[in-house]
Amino acid sequence: MILVGRGRVGKTCLLDASRGRVPRQNQSSTEGIDIERIPIVGTHQGRPVTLNFWDFGGQSKYEITHQFFFTPDTVYLVLWEPRTGPEAVEAWLELIHQRVGPSARVILVKSHAVSDDRSIDLPRQDLLERYGSMISGFFEVDTFVEDSRGNRHGVNALLARIAELACSWPHSMPPDWIDARTAIRELADSWITIDEFRRITRSRGLDDGDSATLLRLMNIHGHVVSYDWTPSDLEGTRAILDEIVVLRPEDLAKAIGFVLTDPAVNQNRGVLEHTELARIWAARQDPPVFPREIHVDLVRLMERYDVCHRLRDHHGRFVPRSLVPQLLGAVQEPANLPWSPGQQSDGIATEVNVVVSPQSELRGLFTLGNSSAPSLLA
């Protein structure tokens, strides 16, 4: 179960209400991601269902990292509220569709539906025509308003629908698979090698084929994060991330977040020097969670999901430097460009500045739903 939405839209309050807690008003926004295990009773044959709730930080700086953890056969809650409007909903739907495809199940949830009396709704028919294969319902909740039975408004109905969807996918595992999964989840490490994963599963009687299936299921269910790489993903470089299994996904999200919030990278207008990676991650995680030998591969992961893009020299060769487009910021168009069409070159290498003011959002360059997209100086 993955919760996404703008900051302070009510995701964490919904988690509190789902666990029977009293939601706190004006609580601080989630940094990175929080993962909660919430047992709820499903409506499918009355059997209990335990869901992994992934609560993503809603700040714009983290939005682009959410897609790292999108998987098929997952229920997504997209929250929006009347105060900020539904504009970002379509952007979330498009991102989920691009990264996962039609197998995702998305529930669109209007928060603060009672306490905020603005009569604003989603363009439901239009969204159904475009994303109907993914949309599994429209709900309204208000975690600060109780109904006549003392329940938080709309929360129980939403949880019943979530349980129904969760029970529609096969979840049963043989006992030895469950034993292997439990052993892996009880490890205190942030990550292990794929060989260690196989060693644990073999000790529980699983062969390599079963081990690969268990890894895929644990990835889908949100217990671990693993990635399959192909040569085209890495453009000839050696992959290490396909050799490890991340046991604490929040550590991976934080590591990427440290790059996005690093003062030096921001001051350098989004230019990330790869020589700075050790400083960035060592300074914020002591001891460092991810060793130096996979730092470059973490950058490759960010490239794969359009968080950053490697730069080239004037010969077209890659250099150990990347650009994080969302950190470019606004660029003021110069009054007089030092170049004009038809101008002859004097044979000396000339740098050309091109200012582009896009009329619509460019995926990967700006955060989701950013209505004030800056000009891009390339």
Q: What is the DSSP string of 43-66?
A: SSTT-EEEEEEEEE--SHHHHTTG
Is the domain of 127 the same as that of 16?
Answer: yes
The confidence score (pLDDT) of residue 1 equals: 81
Q: Which residue has the higher pLDDT, 23 or 192?
A: 192
Return d(Cα 33, Cα 3) in angstroms, integer. Answer: 10
Q: What contacts 24+ positions apart, CB below 8 Å, involve 313-316? A: 314/349
Return d(Cα 350, Cα 348) in angstroms, integer. Answer: 6
Query: Is residue 219's pLDDT more than 80?
Result: yes
Residue 134, amino acid? M
SS3 129: helix
Q: Is residue 260 part of a domain?
A: no
Query: Is residue 178's pLDDT more than 60?
Result: yes
Query: Is residue 369's pLDDT more than 60?
Result: no
> Is 58 in contact with 5 (CB distance < 8 Å)?
yes
Across 69-74, average pLDDT:
82
Is the domain of 108 the same as that of 203?
Answer: no
Neighbours of 332 (CB within 10 A): 9
* Nearest Cα residue to 255 out of 285, 276, 224, 297: 285
Is the domain of 64 the same as that of 108?
Answer: yes
SS3 217: helix
- 97 is in which domain, residue-wise? 2-167
The confidence score (pLDDT) of residue 342 equals: 62
Across 222-240, average pLDDT:
60
Across 119-148, average pLDDT:
91
* Nearest Cα residue to 107 out of 80, 87, 88: 80
Query: Is residue 368's pLDDT more than 50?
Result: no
Query: Is residue 34's pLDDT more than 90?
Result: no
Average pLDDT over the chain, rounded to whole? 79
The confidence score (pLDDT) of residue 262 equals: 92
The confidence score (pLDDT) of residue 173 equals: 84
Across 293-304, average pLDDT:
83
Is the domain of 216 the same as that of 356?
Answer: no
What percent of the chain shows pLDDT beyond 70?
A: 73
Q: How confident is the model at residue 273 (pLDDT cuts 50, 70, 90)?
A: very high
Ordered DSSP codes for 149-200 = TSPEETHHHHHHHHHHHHHTS-----HHHHHHHHHHHT---SEEEHHHHHHH
Is the domain of 105 the same as that of 205?
Answer: no
Return d(Cα 241, Cα 181) in angstroms, integer. Answer: 20
Q: How confident is the model at residue 183 (pLDDT cuts 50, 70, 90)?
A: very high
Is the domain of 188 the same as that of 130?
Answer: no
Count of domains for the chain? 3
Is the domain of 118 the same as that of 231?
Answer: no
CA separation, residue 310 to residues 175, 190, 257, 323, 373 (Å): 46, 27, 18, 6, 22
Q: Is residue 305 part of a domain?
A: no
Query: Is residue 282's pLDDT more than 90?
Result: no
Q: How confident is the model at residue 354 (pLDDT cuts 50, 70, 90)?
A: low
The confidence score (pLDDT) of residue 373 equals: 36
Query: Is residue 349's pLDDT more than 60?
Result: no
Query: Is residue 301's pLDDT more than 60?
Result: yes
Across 287-294, average pLDDT:
76
Q: Is residue 310 part of a domain?
A: no
Is the domain of 152 the same as that of 179?
Answer: no
Is the domain of 14 the same as that of 148?
Answer: yes
Is the domain of 10 the same as that of 132?
Answer: yes
Q: Is residue 111 part of a domain?
A: yes
Is the domain of 232 the same as that of 342?
Answer: no
Q: Model's pTM, two decimal places?
A: 0.74
> Is 81 in contact with 112 (CB distance < 8 Å)?
yes
Across 347-355, average pLDDT:
57
